[in-house]
A and B are shown apart, each in its own frame.
Chain A
Amino acid sequence: MAETVEPQVVPGSVEVEESKSKSGLEPGYLVICWNDPVNFMQYVTHVFQRVFGWNREKAEFHMLQVHEQGKSALTRESFEKAEHYVHQLQHYSLHATMERED
């Protein structure tokens, strides 16, 4: 990501949320955002806030994970909800995918 801001983040204060599945046997899908050098850090934070309704601190935590570790698992969801989130993130031109959790 292109560097534009230096946000203040408290690591370890944020956890990946997951929705309750109807059955414990249903596979979960991780919504993953991947790093690229073109999307501004401020933009990625903004998109996470808009798409997931997160506060700034949580959005910046995941943005920094993407920037520093190459990717961030944003949430674990059912297939339909994960697909919905990937569509939303890609409407904003972020590099996001959904991956089945083993």
Chain B
Amino acid sequence: MFVLTRREQAQLLNVLQLYPRIPPAHYRLSKSGRLPEPEESQKLLDEALAEVRASNRKTLQAFLSEPTRFTASAKTLQFTLSETEAEWLLQVLNDVRVGSWVSAGSPENFLAALNEKTTADIWAMEIAGYFEAHLLDALSNS
């Protein structure tokens, strides 16, 4: 269980709405391409990733719509999820983080790349990273 402010909840929901963020066919199975039937293998990877992302998108909608997911107490909200859900949410958030980085032009230095065109991408990347760090801490202590 995590305790969030209402502003944190709004930011979390905003970044999750961006999922999936990594462009289709972004990843290559091999750099050298020295594989038996490389095109077929690449197609298999692209299809597998697309299937996982479509499934995650559906799961995400159901996950967020559960009435007990966020429960209010005074000025804060309790965000409840199981260890399995935390592991899954970590993957979803990292897709948003990496995909936003790709959209910003894959910069080495995030701050140096900050400009009018990249602000939204770098914001999403940093917000996703903020929640990822909390999930990683929770998972490492579980």
Chain A residues proximal to chain B, CB less than 8 Å: 2, 4, 29, 36-40, 42-43, 46, 50, 79, 83, 86-87, 90-93, 95, 97-100
User: Chain B interface secondary structure, helix, strand, loop or mixed?
Assistant: helix
Among residues of A, the one whose C-beta sits closest to the C-beta of B107 is: A37
Known pairs A38-B97, A100-B32 / 4 extra A-B pairs, C-beta < 8 Å: A4-B133, A38-B106, A40-B136, A83-B41
Is B22 interfacial (CB-CB < 8 Å)? yes
User: Given contacts A100-B32, A100-B35, is CB(A46)–CB(B136) below 8 Å?
Assistant: yes
Contact, CB under 8 Å: A99 / B32: yes
Determine the chain B residues whose CB is within 8 A of the CB of A43 once the complex forms.
90, 94, 132, 136
Determine the chain B residues whose CB is within 8 A of the CB of A87 once the complex forms.
45, 48-49
A-facing mask of B91-128, CB < 8 A → 1, else 0? 10011011101000011111000000000000001000
User: Given contacts A46-B139, A50-B87, A98-B29, is CB(A38)–CB(B98) below 8 Å?
Assistant: yes
Chain B residues proximal to chain A, CB less than 8 Å: 22, 27-32, 34-36, 41, 44-45, 48-49, 52, 87, 90-91, 94-95, 97-99, 101, 106-110, 125, 129, 132-133, 136, 139-140
A100 to B104 alpha-carbon distance, docked (Å): 32
